[in-house]
Structure formats: C-alpha cells, structure tokens
Chains A and B, each alone.
Chain A
Amino acid sequence: MSRAQENSAGRDPLPAAAVGLETQHAVAQFLYRQAEILDDRLWDDWLALFTPDGHYWMPAAPEQLVGEGQPNIFYEDHYLMRVRIGRVNHPNAWSQYPPNRTGHVVSNVVVEAADPASGDLVVRSKFLVAEYRNDEQRVFAGKYRHQLKKGPDGYLIQLQRVDIVNVEGPFDYVLQYWI
C-alpha cells in the first residue's frame, strides 16, 4: 500500500507525536546510553534497561506483528538474556575468542506516540552498527522501535523491536548478543 493510500484510509504510516524538546532530548539520551552500554558490554546495565517483563525482539520478517509464538531472530526476556550474558562471559565461550567489538550509531529519533498521563512513549529510530572480529568487519543497519515506560528513574524498555535490513539474508550468525 502506498503512502497516499494509507493516508486515504485515515492511517499515517509514519505517525509522530508533538512532544517538547525536553522529552525529545531525554529519549535521545536514553537511546544513546543503550548504544554505549552495548558497545562497552556493560551487561548489568543492559538488563537494568528493561522492565521486569520487558522483551528484546528481532523479528524474522518485516511484516511480523508479534514476537510470541513466531520464528524470530531474537525474542528474549530477562531470563534468556541472563543465559546469553552467562554464556558470553564464560571462559569456554570459544567463539568469543577474540570477542567482537561494536560501534553503534543511533539517529533519526522520532517520538511516535506519547501518553500524557503516564509519560510512556513509543519511539522510532535508525541504527548503524559496525562489528569487528577476527580480521573481519560487518555492518548492520536497521530501525529500532522502543516502547518505553516512564518510571521514577527515567525510561525502561517494555519492548524493543529491531528490524535489520538484511533480515532474510544468510548469516554465519547475527551477533552473539544484541544489536
């Protein structure tokens, strides 16, 4: 469906909420912090970004609407993320010798929806990730969509959707942790 058709159906495919500069700034800072946490492999800080029932989700196809009960590239709650962290930190995680290094750039931050009562947000953004390991560099590009809960200490991720542009491509693997 084209943009025009979407609009004639009364739905904006790229909704944006009118939010103040302060909110825009705060959410951008939150996304930058998440990117730094990944690049620096600060796993306790990573887990603390999510609500207790939060999920990190990378669908296996762009048209997927839910993660539950579907094939996914990533679909992880706290417990599965803890397994992954435990593995990456384990001395026998052979394919982490040498470990990979990443550099994340997050940009194009658009607040899609804002709940005036709770302060909860839905935020779209774009990312570029360069990964280096074993003399090889790979690049991943795509978009994030964060559903954020506003708490007393700032935002927490209820659901982070990650769509990579090469979603159906062959991989040796994507990343051994999150993009």
Chain B
Amino acid sequence: MNRRLRLSSILFRLAVIVALLPQASAARAQLDDDEPAAAPGPARVIHGAGPAAPSSSDDADDDDDKIKPDEALPAPPRRAPVARPSEEAPAEEAAPPAPERKPVRSSPAEVEEAPAPAPAPAAPQFVTRSRRVKKCKAHHKHCHWVTIKEKVPAGSAGQSVSTRRVLASPASGSTPAGGSDDVIPAHDVEGSTTASGRPADAPEAPSSMSFDLVQESGPSAADAAIVERKVKTRRSMLEVHQAFGIATSALMLGTVITGQLNYSDRFGGGGSSGQFEIWHSTLEMATVLSFATTGLLALFAPVPFEKKSEGIDSVTIHKWSMLVATIGMASEIPLGIYTVSREGYVNQGTMAITHLIIGYITAAAMTTGVSALFF
C-alpha cells in the first residue's frame, strides 16, 4: 500500500515537472530578450511566446487570460539592465583590460561614448580613487550618499567620471521601480566630478582645489564602527550622568538645609521638636542613591578614545572633588545613624556637630566638582 502511494507520489511530481518545463524555458528566453532593452519604448511584444500555464479544464474559459501573440505583456518586474561589453563604445573595447570598478547598470542607449584613450601601455598601473554618489531607492524617495572606491588607470586619474563611466540618464526613466541595487542617475554622481573634485565639464581653472599635496590616512571601517558604538554608549551614559548630577546637587542642597534646621532644632535651642528629621532622612537617602547612580554611570561608561593625561585640568578637579564627596557621604551615613542612636547620651551633641561639619565639607566638595566643569 505504501509502495503504491510512493509510486503515485513520484508520478505526480514527474507530471508537475513535465508541465512546468515549457513555462520555465519560455520565461528564461523572455528574460534573455529583456536584458538589453530596458530603455523605455513601446510596450514589449512577444511573438509566439511559450504556452501559458496549462490547465486542462479551464482552457475554454481562460482564453482571455492567455497571452496572445502581438499582445502587450504587463510590465514584468523590471531588472536593471547590465551594460554588456559588446554594447559599449568601440573605443572602450580597444582599451586595456578594464580595471575593477563598481558596476553601474544602464541601458545601452544611455551609454556615453568615451573618447579613444591613448595607446595602452604594456602593464597598465591603477590608482584607487574615492567618489561620493547618491544611491536612491523607490524613485528617489530614499536617497543617501555613499563613498565608493574604484580603481582607475593611472593615466586617466584626472579624466572625467562621466566620460569613463556608464551613466544612466534620469530622463530615460531607467531607474528601477523599486530595486535594491539601483541605477545611479547621472545627475546624482556628485557634480560628475573628476577624481580630484573638479566639475567634469569645467576646464581646470587656477582656482581649482583639485590638488593633493599631503596624504591623508584613516581607520578601517570595522574599527570605526566599533569605536562609534562605544562613543554612542558613552555619550548616552554621560548625558544621563549629567542629569543625575544636577538632580544630586539639588537634593544635596535640600539635605544640607534640612540637616542644619534639624541640628538647630535639636541642639540649638529650637525646642527639639524633631519636625525636620524625617525631611532630612528622606532627602539624605535620595541624595545618596542619586549620587551613587551618577558616579556609577561615569565609572562604567566605555572609553572609546585613548585618554590624554596632561596635568591638572577641570575634569581632574571634578573627579578629585567627587572622590572627597564620596568619602564624606560614606562617612555621613554611619555617623548619622550612630548620632541618632546616642539619644540621651552626653556625646550626642558632639556627634551631631561632627555630622554637620562633614555634611558641609561634602556639600562644598560637590559644589567644587560641579563648578569645575564650567571653566
């Protein structure tokens, strides 16, 4: 039973393949015909095209759906045509082996004819040249500039891009409808410049900036991407650090004010009502939490660039001040708790004044650290 089933399954698959083969070959032939003729023109006509999808039962009903000879096809998904060597200008054919370059798709009708180059040397040398071009998708709705590098023969380094590249005219409408690797319209090749930035059609004027006396070097794209990621993370962390720093300063001010009021109330003849104690405790807790968050954000921020250490600058003062503030805060917490626990003892007043003085030192250190950034 199983063998029967398998046999019938295999037969069914064979039948499907046999049915689809003519279609596939017809489609392939059509694609081959399409390639050189992407330029807009009259609607394409297929003579004696391959059979439409065979359907045994729907033949009679589907006559209207079939592709008839001499009937225009609906526009197929447009492929950007590839310029073939045989379609390029004869002068280009005679040129030395083409250097490696970014392929640009275009219809043969849009190929600009290149002037005949000088006789090729036996071993042509190439130079790498960078150029910025605009890449567009979906009818220029989404365009972005990219830098491409291409090798060009050394002798033609100053030659116009537009005479050496196959360009697509925007007027020709050869820009694909929504392709991902698109034609670069001629007007979008940044000014159609020469290798050194001179407009292609302009004669070399003495005012031209097209000279390079000094070699510039840069990092690899991979290294740049890694550093850039770190930079973004660091920037976000330091922005939050800044916000928390401002909040901490405000909270610190509140803590000091309520601390002073509390001391005056308890030990300065204020009646010892204890009305400021809850405010002072709450603000102190918030200050410590905010301060710790601020510090940790700065400590754990990635360092994308090598640190230069050239003596004392405002950041050095900021960091040292914050270290003093951290020590002050760390000592204030146990000292405050201990002071409260000495209720009724003789030394509570001494503990309280010590707590108050350290509090002021901590606040002063923080103020110094924040102010240092303004200079």
Instruction: Verify that A and B bind, or say they do not.
Output: no
A-contacting residues of B (Cβ < 8 Å)? none
